[in-house]
Amino acid sequence: MVTVEIVIGNPADSKLYSGTLKKYNQKMKVAPPYSITDQGYRSKANFKAAEHIDTAYFGKSCDVPVEKQKFCKSARSANEGFIAVAKNLRGFKRSLYRGIEGDKIWAALCQTAYNLRKFLLLYYDEKFKEKTLVKLGLLI
């Protein structure tokens, strides 16, 4: 079984959660087994939206049974690191676009720039096989 989490950042958190959860459910055709957020999501509406999720952790230990608290805290900590990397090293701090759609556009642009940079570094270091370069149209 694949474990899926929903972790969302902190701009207007309490308003974004239910809409994002609905989009996830529609796209995946199933509710996630876990939803792990920070305390910015603690609202009655979000608790109600997450009723159908097996484990919904909104930043406080009392949200989940004792046997799942360690997992939830660990997952939350891991995501803080991911958010820090996304903001500071991958350009999300400088995003020109806002909201979920804007974040999707910016993620695609950042990933494209990262992949292009990585490709060029490998190309200049001559790490590609000749066959690959011919296939890409860089050699005749």
Residues 6 or more apart in contact with residue 107 via CB below 8 angstroms: 92
Is the same domain home to 67 and 100? no
Q: What is the pLDDT of residue 11?
A: 46
Q: Are residues 44 and 112 in the same domain?
A: no
Domain total of the chain: 2
- Partnered with residue 55 across adjacent β-strands are 34
What pTM, to 2 d.p., does this model score? 0.55
Is residue 8 over pLDDT 60?
A: no
Same domain, 37 and 77: yes
Q: Are 100 and 115 in a shared domain?
A: yes
Q: In this structure, are 128 and 76 located in the same domain? A: no
Domain of 124 in residue numbering reads as 95-140
Same domain, 51 and 113: no
Residue 16 shares a structural domain with residue 32: yes
**Are 92 and 100 contacting, i.e. CB atoms less than 8 angstroms apart?**
no
Residue 40 has pLDDT above 80, yes or no: no
